[in-house]
Amino acid sequence: MGDQKVKRSEDKGKGVSPVREMPPPDDESTVSLLRELVNHLRKNRTQLREEWARRITAAKLLGAMSSEEMFAEATSVYDNYVEVLETGAVEALQAYARDLSERIIPRGVETDEVVGIVLLLRDVLARSLFAKYQTDFQLLNRILDAYEPAANRIANTVAVGFVQERERIIRQQQEAIRELSTPVLQVRERLLILPIIGVIDSQRARQLTEQLLRGIRTNRAKVVVIDITGVAAMDATVANHLVQTVEASRLLGATVIVTGLSPEIAQTLVTIGVDLGKMNTVGDLQGGIEEAERLLGYKVTPFSEVSQQPI
Amino acid sequence: MEVPILKQGLYLIASIQAALSDVDLVHLRDALAEKVGKFRARGVIVDVTVLDVMDSFASRTLRDLAHMTRLRGAETVIVGIQPEVAFAMVQLGLTLEGVDTALDLEEGLAFLDKKTKRHTSRG
């Protein structure tokens, strides 16, 4: 919570005091003003909600949802919004924002859309207040004084809730990637393959190296094929780590063949100035395994060719 | 602590039993270089399985040892480097370049068999 930056950048410069500094609506006049405001919003619920939905569609927000879904979602956001204005308690809204984010993030709704719709609602409601109180400028001012901080706080809460949910998902996925075991597989006597897929950071690289070196020892491997076809890019640190892995494997008496280097990774390796004499690389996994078999003295012959030979 | 050097056919096997001081390492190097000539050995195996640390002096001495024996007509292979030691070594930049390595004693013997046979068959 309390991430003012999110809010402030969205603040339309209406001279509102920062969100955090807003006092709870204990002031007698503020409470009565908010009550009046809420009554107004309740009374015009249908009309304002429709206006809002129309604006959302016009702004091409929430394109991932059907119009019925959008309308249903808009209704509950509206009701929550009014309720927070009335009670000043954001906890319920926080929970709702979390719940909403959980539902809509998998549908591909973006942060700017969520912030956008909340700001649109704020705008729609502000306009209706203007329309209602335009004759009494003093009252309009006081109404807005009460309304703006509360509205800002709501927008802040929803945006922060959404971003937090996103971050939670990202963290969860990072965890999942990290836990994806990277198998060290024996394909023939003395031949291991290590297929690496996904993003490698230095932590995962370290884990991979440990697994590989242990695998070499337990399987008594002489040749290891590390296939990095599934790795799109690696930074210099990880590339260096790969080179170190190759050297460490050699110290254990195993030859490493690296296969499936993408052009980007090749570029990285050249840029950091890897001694290519130490790196045995082959284009693809098939070539790598063939090379490994050659090193181990295997010769794979199709069965038909074998049976044709006179015995 | 003295490292026992065993003669096994055409090969000499130095089996390190405990952590070695720098002086011990130098002794080992000199003893092997000398015995290679004395026994007309074709290969040398240095077993470092028990070492759980390999510093720059040790790896340099082993590299010198390998080069010295090669000049005296015997191939050297270092066997039994532990995975953790291997990784620590490369991180320190100690890669034993130009020195052959093998997983363990058995692999080292097989390696030497192959290497010396190739040399003899070439004549």
CATH code of the domain covering residue B98:
3.30.750.24
- Written as one letter, the residue type at A147 is Y
Mean pLDDT of B100-122: 83
Nearest CA in chain B to A209: B87
Nearest CA in chain B to A212: B83
Mean pLDDT of A78-95: 80
Per-residue pLDDT tens over the stretch B53-71? 999 999 999 999 999 999 8
CB pairs under 8 A between A and B: 55
Q: Which residues of B touch A252 (CB under 8 A)?
A: 81, 83, 86, 101, 103
Per-residue pLDDT tens over the stretch A104-118? 887 778 888 888 888
Residue A10 binned pLDDT confidence (cut-offs 50, 70, 90): very low
Question: CB–CB of A250/A256 below 8 Å?
Answer: yes
A189 in contact with chain B, both atoms CB, cutoff 8 A: no
Give the separation between CA A284 and CA A218, rounded to whole angstroms: 26
Give the three-state DSSP class for A253: coil
pLDDT score at A9 = 42
**Which tokens hold the place of B5?**
């050097």
Query: C-alpha A93: how far from its chain's center?
Result: 23
Residue B48 has pLDDT above 60, yes or no: yes
Mean pLDDT of A258-271: 86
Q: A199 in the Ramachandran plot: left (φ > 0), alpha (ψ -120 to 50) or beta?
A: beta
- E strands, chain A, in order: 185-188, 191-197, 223-230, 255-259, 280-282
- Written as one letter, the residue type at B83 is P
Residue B106 binned pLDDT confidence (cut-offs 50, 70, 90): very high
Task: Kindly report the three-state secondary structure assignment for every residue of B25-53.
Answer: HHHHHHHHHHHHHHHCCCEEEEECCCCCC
Q: How many domains does chain B have?
A: 1
Residue A286 binned pLDDT confidence (cut-offs 50, 70, 90): very high
Mean pLDDT of chain A: 81
Residue A254 binned pLDDT confidence (cut-offs 50, 70, 90): very high
DSSP, res A276: T
Residue A249 binned pLDDT confidence (cut-offs 50, 70, 90): very high
Closest CA to B109 of B64, B79, B73: B79
Give the separation between CA A81 and CA A147, rounded to whole angstroms: 11
pLDDT score at A271 = 84
More confident residue, A50 or A191: A191
pLDDT score at A18 = 45
Question: CB–CB of A114/A159 below 8 Å?
Answer: yes
Of A120-124, A232-236, A248-252, A307-311, minimum mean pLDDT range:
A307-311
Per-residue pLDDT tens over the stretch B68-89? 999 888 999 999 999 999 999 9
B98 in contact with chain A, both atoms CB, cutoff 8 A: no
Burial class (CB in 10 A: 0-12, 13-18, 19+), A263: exposed
Give the separation between CA A210 and CA A116, rounded to whole angstroms: 48
Highest mean pLDDT among A119-123, A198-202, A274-278, A288-292: A288-292
pLDDT score at A3 = 44
Question: CB–CB of A22/A149 below 8 Å?
Answer: yes
DSSP, res A65: S
Cβ neighbours of residue A307 closer than 8 Å, sequence gap 6 or more: none
Q: Domain range for residue B12? A: 5-122
Question: CB–CB of B46/B16 below 8 Å?
Answer: yes
Question: CB–CB of B29/B5 below 8 Å?
Answer: no
User: β-strand B5-8 against B11-15: which pairing, if any?
Assistant: antiparallel
pLDDT score at B49 = 93
Mean pLDDT of A113-134: 86
- Written as one letter, the residue type at B4 is P
Measured in angstroms, the CA of A250 and the nearest CA of chain B are apart by: 7
Burial class (CB in 10 A: 0-12, 13-18, 19+), A283: exposed
Per-residue pLDDT tens over the stretch A166-213? 888 888 887 777 666 678 899 999 999 999 888 788 888 888 898 899
Placement of tokens 């609602």 in the chain: A121
Residue A287 has pLDDT above 60, yes or no: yes
Residue A14 binned pLDDT confidence (cut-offs 50, 70, 90): very low
Mean pLDDT of A18-24: 47
B111 in contact with chain A, both atoms CB, cutoff 8 A: yes
Of the candidates A213, A217, A247, the beta carbon closest to that of B95 is on A247
Measured in angstroms, the CA of A258 and the nearest CA of chain B are apart by: 18
Which long-range contacts link A285-291 to residues 24+ away (Cβ below 8 Å)?
A285/A193, A285/A195, A285/A225, A285/A227, A285/A229, A285/A259, A285/A260, A287/A259, A288/A193, A288/A225, A288/A227, A288/A257, A288/A258, A288/A259, A288/A260, A289/A187, A289/A191, A289/A193, A289/A225, A291/A257
Residue A24 has pLDDT above 60, yes or no: no
Placement of tokens 């190296």 in the chain: A209
Measured in angstroms, the CA of A224 and the nearest CA of chain B are apart by: 13
Q: A200 in the Ramachandran plot: left (φ > 0), alpha (ψ -120 to 50) or beta?
A: beta
More confident residue, A211 or A1: A211
Of the candidates A213, A254, A278, the beta carbon closest to that of B87 is on A213
Measured in angstroms, the CA of B47 and the nearest CA of chain A are apart by: 12
User: β-strand A255-259 against A223-230: which pairing, if any?
Assistant: parallel
Task: Measure the N-to-C terminal CA separation of chain B; round to a whole number of Å.
Answer: 40
A222 in contact with chain B, both atoms CB, cutoff 8 A: yes
Task: Read off φ and ψ for residue A64, nearest 5 degrees.
Answer: -75, -10
Is the Cβ pair A216, B83 closer than 8 Å?
yes
Mean pLDDT of B35-64: 92
Residue A27 binned pLDDT confidence (cut-offs 50, 70, 90): low
